[in-house]
Amino acid sequence: MLISFFFVAGLLSFFTPVVSAASTTNGASIYNLPLGSNSNYTFALNIPDDSTDLYFHLSGPTSYSWLAVGTGSEMKDSLMIVAYSNADGKNVTVSPRLSSGEQEPEYSSSLAVTLLDGTGIANNTMTVNGRCSNCTTWKMGSRTGSLDLKSSSQPWIYGLGPTGGSARMLRSDSKTASIERHSKYGVFDMDMVHATGGSGGLPTSYTTAQGSSSEGGDKDDSNWPSIIHALCLGGALILLFPCGAILLRVLPKSVRWHWVNQTISTCLAGIGLVIGFYLSTQFTKSQSCSSTHQILGIVILLAIIAQWGMGFWHHRLYKKTQTSSMFGVVHRYFGFVVILLAIINGGIGLRWSYASNGVLIGYSIAVIIVSVVIIGLLGWARFKTNRGAKGFVRQPQELDEFQTSDLSDGYVDRSAGGSHGYDRY
């Protein structure tokens, strides 16, 4: 019995180191951000001993167009991993990128990401398991970025793309695909010491956060410059400019108000173009200013300025000569051409900026409604004019204002004996 006891004890002592070595787990830090509806944004990290490789897990709901995580507390000089659906919507495209500032990060082929088992789309969740080689230091032009592997509170940033309500969901096999501005972003800390250890690998469960903390800077966001850009130019070119014709020919039939309306519209369109130039600096696809939407937009704004100038100059000439001019004729018809081009370019811009189908349908409906109302009012005014054969009739108080106005509205008195009928120039 004594011999058997020592034999068993010796056998156990022989296997004890082996069991211990097999149970050693990789270090890991896990960050979880609840997003509602039982869904989370999750980022987990492991750094093998004596290695510059990063094993990472990134996951989040497919209701967001893209997911991203980045190093540092801000986008400048950040190394970022961006994930979005591939073209057929069944897998994930992973794009390692470098960011130079508060603008779209650019794909970097110098960053090598190897996808591991578990990467894909399932149960409305986008998941990336990967290994980023040599990702502890990186170059940004003449600058260098790095991770502090000894830090217990290394800052990281996250970003979530727009949802399907405002933008089309990004689906692409290209690692250089353009991404729209995030709808949510924030900063969190990771304990790099806690994340270090083992031979490399990821935990099997991510439900419990560890080695991480939120900095409380989570913010909702939207592509507000793009929204203001669209509202300014859409409001000016599709609503206010056509209303200028109504103010002149239907109600109140006043050149003064026509001029005020067109001046405000021109200024509003100018503001929209300035914001458009700012937007062009934010995205890689627009920085060269070579797209159809950008080129046509610049042409349209120059045409608006020319249209305003022709109208103003015609009225000055008419006041001096009491006769029509070529500027007046061109001004009258050129405006409709500009508005038509603006409507077309608005649709091109929405499609180019990945607007959702709902936004495109809403834009189309708005254009149709405005067009029907404007054309209907102008047609009604023309019908009344032809039927009465008197032109557009002004009230006496309007006539007094017209006679004393600094800007003549270009109507010639053809009546006799004090009648107020006016033919257009």
> What pLDDT is attached to residue 93?
97
Q: Are residues 209 and 247 in the same domain?
A: no
Phi-psi category of 240—alpha, beta or left, where left has phi over 0 and alpha has psi -120 to 50? alpha
Q: Are residues 234 and 207 in the same domain?
A: no
> What pLDDT is attached to residue 3?
45
Low-confidence ranges of the chain (pLDDT < 50): 1-24, 389-425
How far is residue 179 from each of residues 161, 218, 224, 230, measured CA to CA in Å?
A: 8, 20, 15, 19
Token digits of residue 156:
């990281």
Does the residue 15 lie in any domain?
no
d(CA 293, CA 314): 31
> What pLDDT is attached to residue 319?
80
Q: Which of 185, 220, 255 is where one domain is finished?
A: 220
Does the residue 425 lie in any domain?
no
Residue reference for tokens 């108000």: 257
Q: Are residues 242 and 350 in the same domain?
A: yes
Does the residue 11 lie in any domain?
no
Q: Are residues 353 and 249 in the same domain?
A: yes
Token digits of residue 140:
């940004």
Does the residue 424 lie in any domain?
no
pLDDT per position as a tens digit, 325-382:
788 778 888 888 999 999 999 999 998 888 888 889 999 999 999 999 988 888 888 7
d(CA 96, CA 81): 5
Q: Are residues 52 and 128 in the same domain?
A: yes
Q: Are residues 209 and 305 in the same domain?
A: no
> What pLDDT is attached to residue 110?
87
Does the residue 17 lie in any domain?
no
Q: Are residues 79 and 112 in the same domain?
A: yes
Q: Are residues 211 and 278 in the same domain?
A: no
Q: Which of 220, 240, 262 is where one domain is finished?
A: 220
- Model pTM? 0.75
Three-state secondary-structure class, residue 300: helix
Q: Are residues 199 and 238 in the same domain?
A: no
Q: What is the tally of structural domains in the chain?
A: 2
Does the residue 274 lie in any domain?
yes
> What pLDDT is attached to residue 257?
87
> What pLDDT is attached to residue 31?
97
> What pLDDT is attached to residue 393?
45
d(CA 319, CA 338): 26
Based on its alpha-carbon atoms, the radius of gyration of the chain, rounded to whole angstroms, reads 33
Does the residue 23 lie in any domain?
no
Domain of 238, in residue numbers = 225-412
> What pLDDT is attached to residue 25?
63
d(CA 282, CA 423): 52
Token digits of residue 305:
């300025």
> What pLDDT is attached to residue 417?
35
Q: Are residues 214 and 231 in the same domain?
A: no
Q: Are residues 143 and 280 in the same domain?
A: no
